[in-house]
Amino acid sequence: MLWKIYYNGGKSYCDSDGPVEDAPYHGVLAVAFEDLTSGPYNTGRRYRTNFDYYGYHPTFWSGTNTLDSYLAQPGWKKVVQGLWVPDDEWHVLEASLDADQYLPLKTARAPMERHD
């Protein structure tokens, strides 16, 4: 699965930069990942935004404001911490998410995506 984490200050970290366990913890504004859903519900890529924490799963990233349910799941964990920024900074990143060519082309919004 392809994935990319977008950080405050214009930095990013993705699967081609290194293993997920080496991803920096602080300052996450958004996480994007390849949509592995089969059939007509595949949107190319999915986003997680506006969360306090983001958790890695082998086939997707989740977003949460509390870690209880994520940490209660069995298996290895990777968590990165979200950061709230002023609207003008957020809108700069938001405009660049769909334009980023690292991940497959975004074809639609998925029902659970918060992209506001």
Confidence of residue 114 (pLDDT cuts 50, 70, 90): low
Q: Please list, in sequence order, all residues whose beta carbon lies within 8 angstroms of the beta carbon of residue 2, skipping any fewer than 6 positions away.
A: 14, 15, 33, 34, 102, 103, 104
Domain ranges of the chain: 3-97
Q: What is the pTM of this model?
A: 0.90
82: which DSSP letter? B
Dihedral (Cα; 17, 96, 29, 80), 10-degree rounding: -20
Q: Are 28 and 83 in contact (CB under 8 A)?
A: yes
CA distance 91 to 98: 12
What are 57-105's pLDDT values in tens digits?
Answer: 999 999 999 999 999 999 999 999 999 999 999 999 988 998 899 999 8
